[in-house]
Structure 1
Amino acid sequence: MLAGGATNISAEVIEGQGMTEVAFRRRGRWLSGLKMIAFLLAWMVGAGFGALLLAASSDSSLMLWVWLAAWGFGGLFVLNILLWQTFGTESLISRAEELTIMRRLVLITKPIIVPAMEIRALRWLADDPTRKVTINGWRVAQTAIEIATYDLQLRCARGITEAEANKAIAAVKQRLAVSWGRG
């Protein structure tokens, strides 16, 4: 989250027949796409250089094989992060009997279904204690929406402002058939 309450997450409420979906979208997706293209070009140059060294070497050094494997795995890890920033979406889908946290990356989906009766609290966290980010030795607060059940705490929409989170939480709570207490 940036100074002054600016964020790169927006909450879009979509009302449907028997369900409410709150889609969390990242702003600046095209910039992330440009970063991804630049990264892919640099990654391919580095991998090509390693493969060229490996092909030119007559003894097929173990060090080059290890370097090329590490380069490949590291590149795939960073590519996954860039793909999520560019194409990934997260949403809360509420029905009277359940709440679904849906994470989508192009065609890959990961739903987490929580029965409505198991939800204890649905709230905005000003600082998520499970996520630690430091800059120059100072801890930076990481906001999120928390869904607390009797067994676990789920978090979504990391980096969302309080106003956007309250709008999303109100829309989700309105659809769920749960009597809400404090929290």
Structure 2
Amino acid sequence: MNMMAQRVRYRRAQVCITAVLWCALSVVPAAADETTVRVQESAAQPPTGRYAMALPLHPTGPAKTATTQTLDVVKVRAMHRLYCAGCHQLDGSGVPASGVPDMRGTLGHFQRTPAGRAFLIQAPGARNSQITDAELAALTNWQLREFSPTTLPPDFKPYTAEEVSGYRANPPLDVTAVRGAIAAGFPKPP
């Protein structure tokens, strides 16, 4: 296969993936009930027609303008599948033997200290994900309630897009050491 044919196949795959992701995150209307999460979400609409094929796989350029909308739980679950489940598994069990931590029953403990709260956003998979700060806030809030509701402190405050933006801008130099230090303060299992 020559170089031009490879580029065409790659571009077609990229366009298909972009279309699937856009559909997965936009087909379900947000309802104003207990199944929705309040977030700041981009108001920008994707290009259509022949220029839609020029979409990059991941957004680039300046930060998107945010407006208040609801992000449906179905969309947040789709983001978990797309951005987290590859390592942490669909059920949040991770692969501890390979260094991918189990989210179940542990995430809430991170909310007990400012360093732990920051770490959940600063972990490489979260910090480097190609989603907006508002989407990462909604995703992390959902994961906390889905995988670790019993360990959340009673005064838990959901993440905001502004808070996520600040944490993403200041990553730790040694992720493993920081996680170990934070986890050392977790209550011991019975």
TM-score higher than 0.5? no
Larger RCO: 1 or 2 (CA < 8 Å, sep 6+): 1
Bigger share in helix: 2
Bigger share in strand: 1
Question: What is the TM-score when the length of structure 2 is the normalising length?
Answer: 0.28
Question: What is the TM-score when the length of structure 1 is the normalising length?
Answer: 0.28
CA radius of gyration, larger in: 1
